[in-house]
């Protein structure tokens, strides 16, 4: 029989594994787009801000650049 903490850990791991491995682009109330990392800042527990852009295309281009340097750099 699993304890409650063990069940929570299993569920948390399944949720993390099911998340896509790319960054998230969100539209802000001011109409700009912000690129967030999936990786959380350990001090704040929030997603890391990877930049704010005027257009979604610019945010997607930056995401591709980040992916390139993360895996090739």
pLDDT digits (tens, 9 = 90+) for 23-69: 789 999 999 999 998 888 888 988 889 999 999 999 999 988 888 88
Indicate whether 65 belongs to any domain.
Answer: yes
More confidently predicted of 31 and 12: 31
So what's the pLDDT on residue 8?
Answer: 75
So what's the pLDDT on residue 12?
Answer: 63
Whether 57 contacts 65, CB under 8 Å: no
Domain span at residue 66 reads 21-72
Indicate whether 55 belongs to any domain.
Answer: yes
So what's the pLDDT on residue 58?
Answer: 94
Indicate whether 10 belongs to any domain.
Answer: no
Structure tokens at 14: 């399944």
Query: What DSSP line would sit under 5-51, residue for residue?
Result: HHHHHHHHHHHHHHS-SS-EEEE-TTS-EEEEEEEEPTTT-SEEEEE
Indicate whether 44 belongs to any domain.
Answer: yes
């Amino acid at each position: 029989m699993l304890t409650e903490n063990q069940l929570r850990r299993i569920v948390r791991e399944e949720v993390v594994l099911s998340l896509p491995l790319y960054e998230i682009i969100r539209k802000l109330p001011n109409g700009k787009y912000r690129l967030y990392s999936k990786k959380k800042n350990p001090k704040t527990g929030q997603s890391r801000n990877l930049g704010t852009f005027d257009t979604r295309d610019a945010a997607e281009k930056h995401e591709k650049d980040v992916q390139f340097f993360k895996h090739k750099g």
